[in-house]
């Protein structure tokens, strides 16, 4: 008699991959229903699958405008996928377990450890509680502010709906918005380029969602512990540097561009520069037309999107910590040192190897998909590279190519978003056969470098 295969016999990476895949398929099924479409006609399955993937992987790339193409039912399906995908389906399952007072098993703790990219199971359930409390509290506070602001422009009921919807979308770094209309689709936040309240709240949500729940918990505990972990110091310092440096670069390159910053007053220029520096942290909304930016600015945003957010967050990319390790490794070699030291802590060799592996995986993936799409899509290579990097970094910024993609292009970008959300290494671990312990080691060899 054959033994039945249980889902809990799978490894944590395999459970994560399967879980996200099933959620995407369920979401795609719901979005193909006529009740989800504003036209009353069933959405093409590939478009529904792309939208569900983008929402679950909290990306924001869209092939049809969210505000004008979906009914309230369809929009609620999308924002639900964003919340599940942003916090992680295991976090949502844990929330249900808390409600019904169900005990969290050892296997479930292992999956949570993998989902939050933690090196230890110690305190994992306590961290999940904090993740849920912080997330819902931040989203609720932002929803209130958004509602008050937008009630000046629209009916209160619509402002409330928009406030809650966009608070969830922005905090989870999804980049979806409802401002598009039949006559003016895909407008994102361009109508609020000079609005201080909308810009500041949106940027705060993106940054808080992008720094990671571990960092938020560490900062909240600072009054009690009076110390921050190395991880928190690296994330906060690199995030701050990238935002400020990115804003300066965009401000300089776009200052005289009449199609972007050139049409704004000085305050609007500074606000838009910071917003477009924060957005590549894997969020995706834009207050200026990305397609009208100069090529230097567009390529710079590609680099920001590739770096992405931080570990244990709602964002993608190779992560700020990985980028910090790579830069530190270069500086260490140039100085002729042996150990990589950050904030007076020496990094273990396995952390360095993992950072290099992840970066190379990501680079090869972006290059491979870009090369494939350059043969199937009729577009400039920078436009293709921008879209692919946006998909991998789960950003959602676009130069306008996504709605015009071929079916093959949509499938490839969907797979890229999936890989970007879960992480190339998690996917590799999920797909690799069971590893056997090596019984011997080969002799050390030397290769000339440089």
Tens digit of each residue's pLDDT (9 = 90 or more) over 84-123: 888 775 566 555 555 555 666 655 666 666 555 555 566 6
Identify which of 173, 398, 399 has the alpha carbon closest to the alpha carbon of residue 283.
173
Q: Report pLDDT for 1.
A: 43
**197-240 per-position pLDDT tens digit:** 999 999 999 999 888 878 888 888 888 888 899 999 999 999 99
Phi, psi of 342 (to 5 degrees): -130, 125
Q: Which residue has the higher pLDDT, 447 or 254?
A: 254
Considering the entire predicted model, what is its pTM? Answer: 0.88
* Average pLDDT, integer, range 29-54: 95
Q: Report pLDDT for 391.
A: 95
The number of beta carbons lying within 10 Å of the beta carbon of residue 182 is 10
Q: Report pLDDT for 137.
A: 93
Q: What percent of the chain has pLDDT over 90?
A: 60
- Dist CA 395 CA 61 (whole Å): 8
> How does the average pLDDT of the chain come out, rounded?
87
Q: Report pLDDT for 449.
A: 65
The number of beta carbons lying within 10 Å of the beta carbon of residue 407 is 12
What are the distances in angstroms from CA 373 to CA 122, 349, 401? 44, 36, 11
Domain ranges of the chain: 9-429
Phi, psi of 346 (to 5 degrees): -85, 135
Task: Give the CA diameter of the chain.
Answer: 75
The number of beta carbons lying within 10 Å of the beta carbon of residue 441 is 6
Q: Report pLDDT for 5.
A: 47
Identify which of 156, 145, 275, 141 has the alpha carbon closest to the alpha carbon of residue 197.
145
Identify which of 120, 146, 251, 128 has the alpha carbon closest to the alpha carbon of residue 204.
146
Q: Which residue has the higher pLDDT, 404 or 281?
A: 404
């Amino acid at each position: 008699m054959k033994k039945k295969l249980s889902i809990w016999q799978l490894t944590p990476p395999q459970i994560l991959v399967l879980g996200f895949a099933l959620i995407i398929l369920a979401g795609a099924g719901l979005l193909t229903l006529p009740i989800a479409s504003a036209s009353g006609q069933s959405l093409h399955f590939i478009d529904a699958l792309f939208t569900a993937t983008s929402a679950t992987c909290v990306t924001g790339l869209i092939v049809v405008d969210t505000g004008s193409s979906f009914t309230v039912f369809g929009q609620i399906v999308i924002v639900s996928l964003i919340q599940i995908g942003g916090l992680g389906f295991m976090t949502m399952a844990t929330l249900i377990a808390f409600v019904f007072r169900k005990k969290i098993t050892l296997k479930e703790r292992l999956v949570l450890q993998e989902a939050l990219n933690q090196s230890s199971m110690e305190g994992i359930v306590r961290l999940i509680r904090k993740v849920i409390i912080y997330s819902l509290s931040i989203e609720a506070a932002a929803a209130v502010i958004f509602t008050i602001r937008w009630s000046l422009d629209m009916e209160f009921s619509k402002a409330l709906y928009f406030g809650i919807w966009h608070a969830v979308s922005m905090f989870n770094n999804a980049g979806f918005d409802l401002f598009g209309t039949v006559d003016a689709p895909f407008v994102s936040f361009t109508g609020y380029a000079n609005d201080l309240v909308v810009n500041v709240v949106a940027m705060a949500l993106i940054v808080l969602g992008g720094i990671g729940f571990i960092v938020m918990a560490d900062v909240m505990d600072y009054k009690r512990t009076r110390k921050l972990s190395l991880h928190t110091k690296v994330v906060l310092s690199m995030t701050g540097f990238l935002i400020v440096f990115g804003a300066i670069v965009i401000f300089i390159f776009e200052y005289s561009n009449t199609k972007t910053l050139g049409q704004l007053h000085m305050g609007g220029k500074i606000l838009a520069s910071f917003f477009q520096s924060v957005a590549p942290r894997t969020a995706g909304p834009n207050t200026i037309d990305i397609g009208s930016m100069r090529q230097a600015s567009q390529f710079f945003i590609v680099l920001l999107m590739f770096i992405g957010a931080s570990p244990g967050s709602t964002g993608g990319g190779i992560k700020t910590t990985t980028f910090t390790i790579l830069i530190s490794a270069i500086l260490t070699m140039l100085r002729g040192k042996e150990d990589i030291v950050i904030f007076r802590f020496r990094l273990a060799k396995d952390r360095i190897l993992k950072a290099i592996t992840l970066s190379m995986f990501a680079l090869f993936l972006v290059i491979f998909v870009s090369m494939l799409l350059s043969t199937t899509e009729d577009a400039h290579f920078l436009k293709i590279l921008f879209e692919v990097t946006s998909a991998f970094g789960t950003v959602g910024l676009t130069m306008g190519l996504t709605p015009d993609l071929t079916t093959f292009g949509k499938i490839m970008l969907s797979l890229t978003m999936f890989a970007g959300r879960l992480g190339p290494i998690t996917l590799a671990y999920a797909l690799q056969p069971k590893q056997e312990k090596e019984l011997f080691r080969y002799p050390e060899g030397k290769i000339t470098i440089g």
